[in-house]
Chain A
Amino acid sequence: MLLELRSLAKSYETQTGPVPVLRGVDLVLEAGHTLALTGESGSGKSTLLHLVAGLDTADGGEIRINGRDIAGLDDAGSAALRRGTVGVIFQQFNLIPSLSVQANIAFQARLAGQHDPARDARLAEALGLQDQLGKYPEQLSGGQQQRVAIARTLAAQPRLVLADEPTGNLDEATSGAVLDELLSLVAQTGAALMMVTHSTTLAARMDRHVHLSRGRIA
C-alpha cells in the first residue's frame, strides 16, 4: 500500500476555541492509482492533502507512506519526504518567478539530487513547453504556468503526486487539456495521484472518487 490514512484528525485553533477540520479519516491509495477528493469549501480536502505532504502535522491518527508513519517526522524529515517521495502541485502554481521555465522544471529534481536533463526535455515536449523554456513564469499564461508546475513535480519522479485543485485557476478547455496531460504522465511514471477538486466532471475521470463532508468521508 502506497498511502494509508487511519483515524486522521486535525483541528485549528481559533479565538472561539478549536475547530475540528478532519474527524477521523480512513483512506488507502495504491501505487499507480488515481483518486479524486471532493467536498464543499471547508470540508478539509486541502488540509488532508497538506498533512499527507508533510506540510502540516496531524492532531491524531496515522499517515503511512510506503508503510512508514510520517507523523513523527521533523522539518528535515518531512522536507526529505517532499523531495523524494511526494510531489505537490499547487493551485497557485508556486513557480519561482526569478528562474526560467527550464530552471523551474529542473528545480525539484535538482533538490532531490536526481536531475536528468533528458527527462526534463521529454516532459517539456509532452506538455508543449519546448518553445517556452527560456521564458520566465510571468511571461506565460495561467495554463502554461500550471504545465510547468506539473513538469517540475514529475521531473523529480515522486511515487505519490498530490494536486491541490491544479486546474482551479484555469478555464474549462485549458483545465481539461492540462488534466489529460497530468493523467497521462502520471500513468507513464507509475505514480499514484491524489487530486483535490471541486469539479465532479474532473473527479469522474479518476480511478476513485472520495467525497469529504464536515471532516469525514461521506
Chain B
Amino acid sequence: MTRAGLSALWSYWRCNPLQLFTLITGLALATALWSGVQAINTEARASYDAAAATLGEGTFDQLLPKSGDRFDQSIYIDLRRAGWQVAPVLEGRLTGADGPLRLIGIDPLTAPAGIMPQTTTNDAGQSLSDVVTAQTVFVHPRSVAAARDMLTSPVVADRNLAPGTALADIGTVQKLLDQPGQLSRLIVAPRQARDLPALNDVAPDLRRLSANQGADAGRLTDSFHLNLTAFGLLSFAVGIFIVHGAIGLAFEQRRGLVRSLRALGLPLRRLIALLALELVVLALLAGCLGILLGYLIAATLLPDVAATLRGLYGASISGTLQLRPEWWLSGLGIALLGTALASGGALWRTARMPVLASAGARAWAMTAGRARVWQTWLAVMMLAISLALVWLADGLLLGFLCLGCLLLGAALALPACLDRALLLAERLSAAVRWQWFWADTRQQLPGLSLALMALLLAIAANVGVSTMVSSFRLTFTAFLDQRLAAELYINARSPEQSDRMQAFLVQDGATLLPVQSVDTRLAGQPAELYGARIGPTYIENWRFLAQGTDPWERVASGEAVIINEQLARRADLWPGDILAVAPGLSLPVAGVFGDYGNPIGQAIIGEALFRDLHPEVAVTRFGLRTDQPEALRDRLEARFDLAAGQIIDQAQVKRMSMQVFERTFTVTGALNILTLAVAGFAMLMSLLTLAGMRLPQLAPAWALGLTRAELGRLELLRALILAALTLICALPLGLALAWVLLALVNVEAFGWRLPMYLFPVDYARLAGLAILAALLAAAWPALRLARTPPADLLKVFANER
C-alpha cells in the first residue's frame, strides 16, 4: 500500500518537472543563503575561540605593561622570586608573502594547562623537550606552508590553533622576533600563595587585567554577526516564499489525486505520512544542494568578511572554510524547518479535507476571498507592532523584531494594495479590452502574490541597505576629513625614540598632537581615556553631535570631558551630565562627538589633566601638522631610521579606512544581489507555472478576436505593471527599512546613529534593474503563450483538458 501510494504521489512530480525544479531550487537557494551566512559565522566564532584559548584570554588574568607593549624579562623573574605564579608570553608578527603570521611565545614549563597545543602529547608525537630544544613551531594546518617560508625552525600543524597563529617556546619566539629578553604579558595562574607581595611593590610598571575585562573578539563582533544573520534570514524568507508557492500549488493541484487515493482505500493517516515523507526527502535533497551552494557562497565571501573583521575589530579569522558538522547539520535542519513552514498549512488543509470535497483546483485560494481579508488584518497588526517597537525597542533583538514585523507586514499587505490599484485601473478604463486586461490581471493576483511579495522584500532590502551604506559612506568620509586633520602620523618604537623625535620636531617647527591613552572602564563600560593637546586642529575640525558651552576651552582647562557617541548612548550621558574619569575625579560632559568604526566607548580630557592622572603613560604616537609633509617625512626617515609603518601620511590612513569600510559592506551588497536574483527566480517560476493554467482564461479572449501574439504582449505588459506597482510599494518600504537600520539597529549594534540621506539615482537604477528582472522573467512564459498551438486553445472549449 505504501509503495503504491508513494508511486502515485511521486508520479505527480514526474509529470510536473517544472514545479519540482521550482520547489527544489527555491528551497536550495533559501538554504544556501542561510547556510552560507551561518558558515561564515561558525568559522569566525571558531577562530575567536581558538585565538582566545591560545592565550588564555577570558580564562586567566593577565599582567600587561602600563605603557608600551613590551617589558623586560627581569620583571618576570622578580615576580617569580616574589612567589607570583605567572607564565611569560611574547607576541609579535612576521610578514611573509602570504600575509602576516602572529607569533606567540610561551614557556611550556610554567604555562597553565590548556594553553600548550594538544599536538605536543599526541598525534605529532612531540614531547615537551622537543618544543624547547628543537625549537618546534606549532601552526594552524592551513598556515603551515606560509610558516615554513618564513621560519627556519621545524613547523608542526595543530588544528587547535587559530588560523594565522604560530605558537612556540618563548626563547624561540624571542629569537625569531629578534627581541631577546622582552615579554608582552604574563599569564596569572588561578592559584596563588596567600602572602604574596602586592603587584605594585614588585612590578610597578605592570597592570593587572582581569579575565573578564580582556578584549573578547566574540563579544565585540556579535553585532556584525547578528547583522549577517539577519540578512541570511531575510534571504531565507524570500526563498521560503518560493517554496511556499510551489508546495501550495502542488497541493492544490493534487486535491483530485488525494481524493482518488482516499476513495480507493488509502487511509488518511498513511496518506499524510506519505506526503510528509515525500516532503522530507525533497527537503533533504534540496538541503544538500543548498549546503553545497552555501559553501560556495561562504567560500567566496569569507575573505571579505575576514578582512572586515580584522579591520573593524582586529579579530583574526580564517580566510578559508572547513566543513564543520554543526554547520551542515544546521543547514539540513533549516531546509527541513523551511519545508515544514512552507507546507504546514497545506498539509493541515489536506488532513482536514473531507474525502468527498470538490477536487477542482482553487488556484491558491488561500490568498483569495476571506483568507485575503485575514491576511490584510494580520498585515495591519504586524505594521502596528513594528510602529510600536520604534518607540519601545530596547536592544538589538527587538530592533530586528521591529524590522521583521515591518517587512512581513508590508509583504502581507501587498496583495490587498495591488488589488485596490488594479480595481481602480479597471474602473478608469473605457475600452473593453483594457477592462478585460485589468480584470484578468486581478484574477492572476492570487497566483502571483507570493512571487510579488518576494520581489517587494528583495527591492525594499536593496533600497534600505543601499541607503544605509551610502548614508554611512557620506558620513564616514566627512568624519575622516574631520578626524584625520594631521598631515602625518608617527608611531615611535619606544618612549626614548619618541622623546628624541619630539625634540627634533619642535625644533623643526612642526605642531605635535600627541596620542596618549589608557584602557579603562567609564560608567561601567570598557573604554579608552585619551589626553588631547587642545589647539586649533581640534577646535576647527571636530564637530560635536551635542555640546554644551565652550567645550574645548573647558576640556583644555581640565574642567570637563568630551565623550564619543557610543559611550554617550550606552551610558546615557549627554552634555551637562557628570562622568567619573578616575577615582575621585568626576567631570561634566561638555560634548559628544561622532566616532564611527570604534566598537568601544572613548572619553577625552585635557593633556595636563591626563598627565596628572597617568604619569606612567609615555607618548609613542602622535600626529603632525606641517605645511610640507613630504619634506618633513624625508627628514624624519633620514634622521631616525624609521621602519615601514612607523610614519603614515593622512591620505594613506584615509585610504586604509575607506578600504575597511568598503569591504565591510561587500558582504551585505553580495547578499542583496543574491536576494534580488532569488526574487527574480520566484517571479519566473510563478509566471511559468501560471502560464500552464492560463489557457481556460485566455482561450475565450482568443476566440473573441485577440491574436496569440497580442495575448503574449499583454502577458508581458501585465508582469511589467505588477512589477512596477510592487516597486512603487517597495520604495517607501525600503526607506522605512533604512530608517530603522540607521536609527534603531545601528545604534543598538554599534552605538552610533547616522543621518539619513536619499539617493534618487541609485533608486532609479534599482527600479530599472527590477523592471528588467520582471521583463526577463515574463518573456519566456509570454513567448510560450504566443506560440501556443490553436489546437490547445480549442481543447478548452471541447472540455478535453
Contacts and interface: CB of A to CB of B under 8 A. Distances in A.
A79 B4 contact: no
A169 B766 CA distance: 55
A83 B11 contact: no
Nearest to B16: A98
A87 to B, nearest CB: 9
B361 to A, nearest CB: 12
B256 A113 contact: no
B358 to A, nearest CB: 11
B140 interface: no
Contact of A108 (B262, B264, B267): B264
B385 to A, nearest CB: 36
Contacts of A75: 267-269
A94 B355 CA distance: 13
Contacts, number: 82
A75 to B, nearest CB: 5
A19 interface: no
A159 interface: no
Contacts of A79: 262, 265-268, 270
Contacts of A103: 7, 11
A37 interface: no
Contacts of B355: 55-56
18 contacts: A53-B263, A75-B267, A75-B269, A88-B263, A94-B263, A95-B260, A96-B11, A97-B257, A98-B8, A98-B11, A99-B8, A103-B7, A107-B264, A108-B264, A110-B3, A111-B1, A112-B265, A152-B264
A82 B265 contact: yes
Interface string A42-56: 000000001001011
A99 B14 CA distance: 9
A80 interface: yes
A84 interface: yes
Given A83-B1, A96-B261, A110-B3, 20 more contacts: A55-B355, A56-B356, A76-B267, A76-B268, A79-B267, A80-B267, A82-B263, A82-B264, A83-B264, A83-B265, A90-B263, A94-B256, A96-B8, A98-B8, A98-B11, A98-B14, A98-B257, A99-B8, A107-B8, A152-B264
Interface in A78-127: 79-84, 88, 90, 92, 94-99, 103, 107-108, 110-113
A7 to B, nearest CB: 23
Contacts of B262: 79
Main secondary structure of the interface of A (DSSP, over half): helix
A99 B265 contact: no
Chain B contact-residue range equals 20 to 34
Interface in B244-281: 256-257, 259-270
A50 B264 contact: no
Q: Which 4 A-B pairs have the closest CB atoms?
A: A83-B265, A98-B11, A110-B4, A82-B265
B344 interface: no
Contact of B15 (A53, A98, A108, A152): A98
Interface string A168-194: 000000000000000000000000000
A113 B1 contact: yes
A182 B512 CA distance: 107
B265 A111 contact: yes
A97 B260 CA distance: 11
B12 A98 contact: yes
Contacts of B259: 94
A96 B268 contact: no
A107 B355 CA distance: 18
B526 interface: no
Contacts of A96: 8, 11, 257, 260-261
A108 B264 CA distance: 6
Nearest to A115: B4
Interface string B1-38: 10111011001101110000000000000000000000
Contacts of B260: 94-96
A48 to B, nearest CB: 13
A60 B41 CA distance: 64
Contacts of B263: 53, 55, 82, 88, 90, 94
Contact of A99 (B7, B16, B267, B268): B7
Contacts of B8: 96, 98-99, 107
A110 B265 CA distance: 11
Nearest to B3: A110
Contacts of A55: 263, 355-356
A55 B257 CA distance: 15
Given A94-B263, A99-B11, A111-B1, A50 B269 contact: no
Contact of A80 (B3, B4, B14, B265): B265
A81 B264 CA distance: 10
Given A94-B260, A97-B15, A111 B267 contact: no
A123 to B, nearest CB: 16
Contacts of A111: 1, 4-5, 264-266
A88 B262 CA distance: 11
Contacts of A82: 263-265
Interface string B270-308: 100000000000000000000000000000000000000
Nearest to A81: B265
Nearest to B259: A94
A55 B356 CA distance: 7
